[in-house]
Structure 1
Amino acid sequence: MSLMKIYGYFIFPRSAVLKIAGFSANFSTTLSTRGERKRQVHEPRKPLSQSLIEGAQVPDRTPFDVAKHDIGLEGAGITSTAISEPFTLFHRRGNRQMRAGIFSRPVLEKYQVGSDLATNMIRGYCPEYSSYIYDAWNSPALIPAMDVDIGHVNISVRDDAAAAREPDSDADNKPAFGWHIDSYAFVCVTMLSDCAGMIGGETVIRTGTGEVLKFRGPATGTAVIMQGRYIEHQALKAFGGRERISMVTSLRLKSPFIRDETIIRPLLPTTPKSTLHYQYAEYRLENLEERVRHQLKVMRQHKKANRDFDVASTRKFLLGEREFIDAMLEELEDP
């Protein structure tokens, strides 16, 4: 199942589900003499226009080729889906609430930072200064990686002089933010800017063969899900507008049994060290605790069934957890 399908399901309006259910219930049905339920098929009420049919034709009908959708990173990541198409996540009123939160004076005074990747970022303000954003990303359907990375905001703004100039011929390829990989498995990137008249703003990824692929720029309130930890990517500059403001929330899988390769050292220059270390250690140790409890449960079940103690599987479990702990020690190392 693709990410688009998963997240499409989560944000699908309940009313629409009810309408679909109601639609299926409105089919005319009859009962056969055997008591079996069968549909009565109706002819279309109006024929389709010939222009519609002819416009859908193509010179060559080709089979679907999965290789065309492969970015050449076999073995990387934790799912075969690399990136989704933009999908609507927040309506305009929701966007306005989020912008009001991130551009409030207390947030700007305390949580505005910069780095080599972006000159202006806002991060670490949830939940204290924006319960709206915090609650939006803590839906039961979502598992944010850590509170400190809920609603991270990247801001690219052009000054008046730059906005008045037309973009040069190479403008399409100029980045708003440089090439990078993310610290967490998944990121959800949401566009908070008004995209009317905007040109560009695409997400660009680098494939396993070094090829660069562009993905359609999002519209206001739309989002993209990407395995940012495993895909080198960047955002291109947008022209025709004064700003490109995107919100990035990092997500992790709910299951503690799936590989977790989170790294936090790149976040230290823009995040309070104590907060970052605590939240990282807390969720990782919670996952470790759950795996240990599961291993104990399996061992006890085998004991009750009078089975011999499985040394090989226990050693395999412990070696895996030692790698997990070693990775934590590396991330928590003092600079």
Structure 2
Amino acid sequence: MPSFEVPCVHQEDVFDPKIHLDYSPAERTFTLAEWGIQEHEYTTPIAGCTPFRLLSLEGVMAYRRAILRKDVFDQCAGHPFPGTVTLRNLAKVSKFVNDFWTHPDTLSIISDALGIKVVAVMPTEIGHTNIQVSGSGDVLSQLKIQPSQEARPLTKEEESYDPLSGSSVIPWQDSYPFVCVLMLSDTTHMKGGETYVSARDIQAASIIIRGPGLGTAVVLQGGQVKHLAARAFGSAERITTITSFRAAELGRFDDSRLANLRAYDNLPELYSQWSLYRLKKMRDEIDAAVRKIESLDKSGITFVHQETEALCEELSKYSQRTARQMVDPEIRDGLARKYGAKGIAEASKYWQLIRAMPQASPKIAEATRYAEDSMPRMKGYTFDWCQTRARIQRGSIERGTQGLIVWDDKADYLLGDELEAQGLNEILLWWLEETGLMAAIGA
């Protein structure tokens, strides 16, 4: 279990599981198989669950006291999405938040719900909090420690809101294997807030998980499950706090990515924590292998070299994914100034428009040659593309952020497809810009 050093701060409760936890198991647990999602080497059987009680009322109040403070907002608040204040890196400034999410009792509850022992991914992902209020102006001034029970009349647009209307929802797939979403607001008058799940086509989503109520939580294997969060209306406030997790056990690797975060996060800090988490994971795997081999030598048992070969191959893939996800901040910042976080997130949309253009193939081929010959920063990505393309041509089925990658001899696997598959929105958009492909669609 990781432990993060947090300075003592004022106006906070000391986390006490006997006081602040009030756990009761979920009524229903869902498996990947039930949702039509095939398990593979990075998954576990449990896909998610219905809301379950996690915090007592005292726990809710203590959590709100810990985060609804000016010093917390000054250090942690950002505005990456319209109408939402996001608090990041809370564990660094709030001992209560850190201790709650890393306490053995809390981790045991989350682990039981997911069917596998888990730990928080890294400090910056502990207690990521999204806050929405119905009024305008300063957000903190509209919030009190006591959760608001004020009902807000719905507009005609809100009354007719269709969660699957496309423009009304934000489809997403998490950056990390597992997520726990905890509600810190009273949802008595709240309409919406459900989670819609689809294994294949998000527009055909038929699985609905009701939104959590005050002090309750849901868990989801968000790195594998395509889902979208319906907007919520009718309440003066909505505060949800989210922590991402990974498997704690040795031999269980993960395919985490940073695509959802790079567009707006503090990259030096994000990359520092990402590097520590990934390098420590690799170190622990190597240390365990060394201990096992030394034990075999002492006991006279014959060494099986295939185990080391398999570990080295997995570590090689894991380390490469680790490096590729750290996009140069200079590239991100330049694109953010022009396109904003929303525009960066839509890089795949631009690529698909270009890919579908009449006579696109010669232009894309020329842009690919330019990337290989004249863009040194693209060297690793073009290498990945060549390797993936060769594997799928041989029949290998690869996985990317958009799902399975299968060879189609009628539609070649292109460099842009590889960047899309790795979730490298910034590199994809940068390449499109640098080679003039963006100009071809008038963007």
Report the counterpart of residue 197 of structure 1 in structure 2.
189
Tell me which of 11, 25, 34 is aligned to 1:70: 34
One-letter amino acid of the counterpart of residue 74, structure 1: Q
**Pair 1:223 & 2:199 matched:** no
Deviation, structure 1 residue 234: 2.1
Tell me if the contact between 2:90 and 2:97 (Cα under 8 Å) persists in the aligned partners: no
Tell me which of 51, 60, 74 is aligned to 1:95: 60
One-letter amino acid of the counterpart of residue 199, structure 1: K
Deviation, structure 1 residue 247: 0.5
Per-residue CA distance 1:47-84 (angstroms, 9 max, x = gap)? xxxxxxxxxxxxxxxxxxx9997111112552111111
Distance of 1:318 and 1:209 partners within structure 2: 36
Tell me which of 121, 126, 129 is aligned to 1:145: 121
Between the two proteins, the alignment pairs up a number of residues equal to 274
Tell me if the contact between 1:172 and 1:200 (Cα under 8 Å) persists in the aligned partners: no
Distance of 1:166 and 1:317 partners within structure 2: 57
Tell me which of 170, 188, 192 is aligned to 2:160: 170
Deviation, structure 1 residue 167: 4.6
Q: 3-state DSSP class of the match of 1:73?
A: coil
Deviation, structure 1 residue 306: 4.4
Distance of 1:147 and 1:226 partners within structure 2: 19
Per-residue CA distance 1:87-117 (angstroms, 9 max, x = gap)? 0111222212222322211122232112258
Tell me which of 170, 174, 182 is aligned to 1:182: 174
Q: 3-state DSSP class of the match of 2:181?
A: strand
Deviation, structure 1 residue 290: 1.6
Taking structure 1 as reference, are residues 182 and 256 closer, same or farther at Cα in structure 2, changes over 3 Å only? same
Q: Mind listing any 5+ residue stretches in structure 2 that lack a counterpart? A: 1-16, 23-29, 108-118, 137-150, 332-443
One-letter amino acid of the counterpart of residue 109, structure 1: D
Report the counterpart of residue 156 of structure 1 in structure 2.
132
**Pair 1:135 & 2:99 matched:** yes
Q: Mind listing any 5+ residue stretches in structure 1 that lack a counterpart? A: 1-10, 17-65
One-letter amino acid of the counterpart of residue 272, structure 2: Y
Deviation, structure 1 residue 224: 0.2
Distance of 1:125 and 1:279 partners within structure 2: 14
Q: 3-state DSSP class of the match of 1:324?
A: helix
Greater relative CO (CA pairs within 8 A, separation 6+): 1
Deviation, structure 1 residue 271: 2.6
Deviation, structure 1 residue 315: 1.9
Normalising by structure 2, we get a TM-score of 0.56
Report the counterpart of residue 287 of structure 1 in structure 2.
281
Report the counterpart of residue 239 of structure 2 in structure 1.
245
Distance of 1:265 and 1:178 partners within structure 2: 15
Tell me if the contact between 1:156 and 1:176 (Cα under 8 Å) persists in the aligned partners: no
Matches within 5 A, 1:235-274: 235-274=229-268
One-letter amino acid of the counterpart of residue 123, structure 2: D
State which structure, 1 or 2, has the greater radius of gyration over its C-alpha atoms.
Answer: 1
One-letter amino acid of the counterpart of residue 134, structure 1: N
One-letter amino acid of the counterpart of residue 295, structure 2: Q
Tell me if the contact between 1:194 and 1:220 (Cα under 8 Å) persists in the aligned partners: yes
Distance of 1:332 and 1:218 partners within structure 2: 34
Per-residue CA distance 1:156-209 (angstroms, 9 max, x = gap)? 32238x944445443252788611111111111001111122222111122235
**Pair 1:328 & 2:327 matched:** no
Report the counterpart of residue 299 of structure 1 in structure 2.
293
Q: Percent identity?
A: 27
Tell me if the contact between 2:90 and 2:98 (Cα under 8 Å) persists in the aligned partners: no
Report the counterpart of residue 317 of structure 1 in structure 2.
311
One-letter amino acid of the counterpart of residue 78, structure 1: T
**Pair 1:208 & 2:208 matched:** no
Greater helix share, structure number: 2
Taking structure 1 as reference, are residues 126 and 302 closer, same or farther at Cα in structure 2, changes over 3 Å only? closer
One-letter amino acid of the counterpart of residue 161, structure 2: A
Tell me if the contact between 1:126 and 1:147 (Cα under 8 Å) persists in the aligned partners: yes
Distance of 1:68 and 1:304 partners within structure 2: 42
Q: Give the aligned CA root-mean-square deviation in angstroms.
A: 3.1
